[in-house]
Amino acid sequence: MLDSIITLLYLIVIFILAIFSKRSKVNFNKSNKEIVTDQYLASKNLTLIESMGSLIATEVSALTFLGIPAFAFSKDFSFVHIYFGAIIGRLIIARIIVPKIYDKGITLYQIMAKENSTQKGEMLTALIYSISKLLAVGVRLYAGSILVAEFFHLNIIVALVIITTITFFYTLIGGLKAVVRTDLLQTCLFISGGIAAHFVIPEISEQSWESMIGLAHENGKTAIFVLDRWQEFFIGVFGGILFDMCTHGVDQDFTQRLMGAKTEKIAQQSIFFSSFFSIIVGLLFLSVGALLWSHFQFFNLPEGVKADRLFAWFITEHFPTPVKGLMLAGVLAATMSTLDSTINALSSVLWSDLWPNRDITKIRSYLRTDTLIISILLLIVAIISSQSEGILILGLKIASWTGGALAALFFSQLVWPNFLRTEMNSVNVLLTWVFNLSGVALNTFLVNGPWQWNVYYGMIFGTSYLFLRGRIFNKLLS
């Protein structure tokens, strides 16, 4: 009962924050354009703490809370390699990408299309991004519903509907400012849950934390770098550089927080310093997986429970009250912080890129409609994902299928426009994506390379097409 009360209090606080954000920032005497800026860019008033905290909360989904412990349980700490690469990737975002997009528009794809594009080209680029985002976050939504379903003994679909409905309402109430403020609370909550697990698991196991981590270390479960597996380190770090640039630099979900910062400098600082916090959070939850592995050296594994569900099962069956309620609230926080960000980001894309030129005097009605459409689509993807295994890697792989194409288009329009000389029309966007998929297919089926390299193949193939189209084909036609 107390666990349920803790979860309910968390949800009440979330809605209070959303309502407060609306009252403090959304003045219905403002012009319609100002309301759009309020909703999608938080009136360009995000502080360093708000921007950075929201970035961390958005990337740390239930895949982190449940999937990363499962990765360490099954393997080791090598997942952290991608975070090392992210430091370099986010430095590039801060130095190159942020100056190109800050204070230039509502969405990244609108900014890309300003100089040398057609409306159809902009729409197709935004559509490719939106489909990829729906798939990736739908998987994350499913991951977050696992513990809710376990705790309340609900069907997984019922749990998905509940989480989506709650997130839909508070996202609609307060816009990006509400999303960011609740993200700050949610960041603190899921980190607190991870820390609590480090105390509770040893207590349940009747072992010391030091002995359990020591046992895991002796068996290679905490290994970050293994000399005879140096290729994994290379793949993870260098794969993480471009992968992170694609997930954080050409993704409206993350760039929205940068464009909503008070100043360009704050945007640059928030994206760069967030990489170090990501490493800390990653290690925190990898260590939970190591503790779980050590626990099950003394106790039998539950029959029929997959690695992806193991931490959720352990929380439900073994964690005491009220820590169990804290963990449930932590999973909800991790899930909702990713979901609310995506709903707001996709809503901005729908407004600016996919369904432009609508009557701005009806903005409030469109906000409700757009948010509802996106929430339903995410729910559908999550229900389909509930039949899948390996949710951590699946969720990350999806972003690698289109990230290279989006990066190629971004750099062709905003970084190398004079070199590539390519118009971002619908044909060029479509063929860039096709070439990107060809690169991903080459890496996956012929080279049998790691999925982290999909973005490299995709960007190289996509940029090669744009180069041939802009520098060679255009010359032949002239």
Burial of 23 (0-12, 13-18, 19+ CB in 10 A): exposed
Q: Which residues of the chain have pLDDT under 70?
A: 21-32, 61-63, 174-175, 388-396, 473-478
Give the residue ranges of DSSP H helices in 206-305.
209-218, 230-244, 252-259, 264-295
Give the separation between CA 219 and CA 76, rounded to whole angstroms: 9
Q: How far is CA 411 from the centre of its chain?
A: 22
Q: How do residues 362-371 score in pLDDT, each as one tens digit?
A: 887 888 899 9
**Predicted pLDDT at 227:** 72
Which residue bears the tokens 């990829």? Answer: 132
Structure tokens at 157: 């679909």
Question: What pLDDT, on the 0 to 100 scale, is given for residue 27?
Answer: 47
379/233 Cα distance (integer angstroms): 36
| Total number of residues shown for the chain | 478
* Spatial separation of the C-alpha atoms in residues 262 and 174, rounded to whole Å: 18
* Measured torsion, CA atoms of residues 156, 162, 167, 170, in degrees rounded to the nearest 10: -170
Structural domains present in the chain: 2-390 (1.20.1730.10)
Rounded CA separation 269/251 (Å)? 18
Q: Positive or negative CA dihedral for 111, 113, 119, 123?
A: negative
pLDDT score of 26: 42
